[in-house]
Structure 1
Amino acid sequence: MQKLSDAELSVMEVLWSGDDFVLGELVDALKAKNHWSRNTVHTYLTRMEKKNLVKIDRNLEPHRYRYALTLEDYQKEERSRLLNKVYQGSVTDLMSAFLKDSKITPEEKEQLNQILDEMEV
C-alpha cells in the first residue's frame, strides 16, 4: 500500500467513522474541516477508488461510498513503515524511544508487561 496523502487521510477518517455515506454527507463533513467543494470531494473519491482505498456502489441512487482500506490495515501499515524507516526494524528501539519520551501510568506499565508476557516469541 502506498502512503496516504493528508487529503486522502481526511477522506478516510470520515469514511471510517460510519458504514457508508452519500456524497452530500461526505461533502458536509469535509467542508467543515477542509472547505472543499462538492466537485473536489467527488474527484478525491473517484481517484481513491482507483487506488482501492474507497468503494463506490453505483447500483444505488444516490451512490454510496465506503472505505475499502480498513483503519486497522492502515494503522498496521503505518506502524510497519515507521518501524522500518526510522528504527531499522528494531521494535526495542521504537518502544524505548516512546517510553523515554512519554510518561506512562502504572496501569499502562502493567498492560505492557501483560502483553509482553502473553506474546509467543
Structure 2
Amino acid sequence: MQKLSDAELAVMEVLWSGHEFVLGELVEALKHKKKWSRNTVHTYLTRMEKKALVKINRSQEPHLYSYVLTKDEYLKEERNHLLNRAYQGSVSDLISAFLKDSKITPEEKEELNKILDEMEV
C-alpha cells in the first residue's frame, strides 16, 4: 500500500465515518476541514479510485462513494511502516520510546499488562 497524502487521509476519514456517501455529503463534510470545491473533492475521489482506495458506484444516480481500504488496514500499515523504519522492527524499542515520552494512567498500565499477559509468544 502506498502512503496516503494529507488530503487523501482527510477524504478517507470522512468515508470511514459511514457506509456510502453521495458527492454533496462528502463536500459538506470536508468543508469543515478543507475549503475544497465540489470539483476538487470529485478529482480526489476519482484519483483515489484509481489507487484502489475508494469505490465509486456508478450504477445509480447520484453516484455513491465508499472506502475500499479500511481504517484498520491503513493503521496497521502505518504502524508497520513506523516500526520498521524508525525502530528496525523492534516492538519493545517502539513501546519503550512511547512510554518514556508519555504519561499513562494506572488503568492504561493495567490494560497494557493484561494485553502482554494474554499474548502468545
Q: Which runs of 5+ in 1 are unaligned?
A: none
Determine the structure 2 residue equivalent to 1:61. Answer: 61
User: For 1:34, what is the secondary structure of its paired residue?
Assistant: coil
**Residue equivalent to 1:103:** 103
- How far apart, in 2, do the equivalents of 1:2 and 1:101 lie? 29
Partner residue, 2:120: 120
Distance 2:64 2:50 in 1: 16
3-state secondary structure, aligned to 2:14: helix
Misfit runs of 4+, over 3 Å: none
Q: Tell me which residue corresponds to 2:91.
A: 91
Which whole-Å deviations, capped at 9, do the CAs of 1:27-55 have from their partners, x for residues lacking one? Answer: 11112211000110000000000000000
Distance in 2 between residues matched to 1:13 and 1:32, nearest whole Å: 13
What stretches of structure 2 of length at least 5 have no aligned partner?
none
**Matched AA of 1:44:** Y
| Count of matched residue positions in the alignment of Structure 1 and Structure 2 | 121
Q: C-alpha root-mean-square deviation of aligned residues, in Å?
A: 0.6
What is the TM-score normalised by the length of structure 2? 0.98
TM-score by length of 1: 0.98
Match of 2:5 in 1: 5
For 2:22, the aligned partner's letter is V
Residue matched to 2:80: 80
Give the match's secondary structure for 1:76.
Answer: helix
1:55 is paired with a residue whose SS is: strand
